[in-house]
Amino acid sequence: MMSLECQMVFVQLLTSVDTQLLLLTPIDDDVYCKFRFDFPELAVDVVSETALKSEDAKAVSIVMNNVFY
């Protein structure tokens, strides 16, 4: 199977599962709780790509990533 075909299969699997039931890692719940503790008011359904790529957002994501890695 070619790489693109594998990627398409993975995307289909991920998008076909109810996200409430989807667990990608054993610490998903911990990551989500920490995220919501740090950002209780953040509406994730309206976050723009530009906002995520800002210098402020990058600094926050580095700190958040270091907690779990």
Q: What is the pLDDT of residues 3-46, one digit of tens each?
A: 888 888 888 988 898 888 888 889 999 998 998 898 888 888 88
Q: Is the pLDDT of residue 1 over 80?
A: no
What is the pLDDT, as a whole number, of residue 19? 80
Phi, psi of 41 (to 5 degrees): -100, 0
Statement: the pTM of the whole predicted model exceeds 0.95: no
What is the pLDDT, as a whole number, of residue 30? 92
Distance of CA 20 to the CA centre of its chain: 13
Q: Is the pLDDT of residue 64 over 90?
A: no
First to last CA, the chain: 32
Work out the burial of residue 31: count CB atoms within 10 Å of its CB; fewer than 13 is exposed, 13-18 middle, 19 or more buried: middle
Cα distance between residue 59 and residue 53, in whole Å: 10
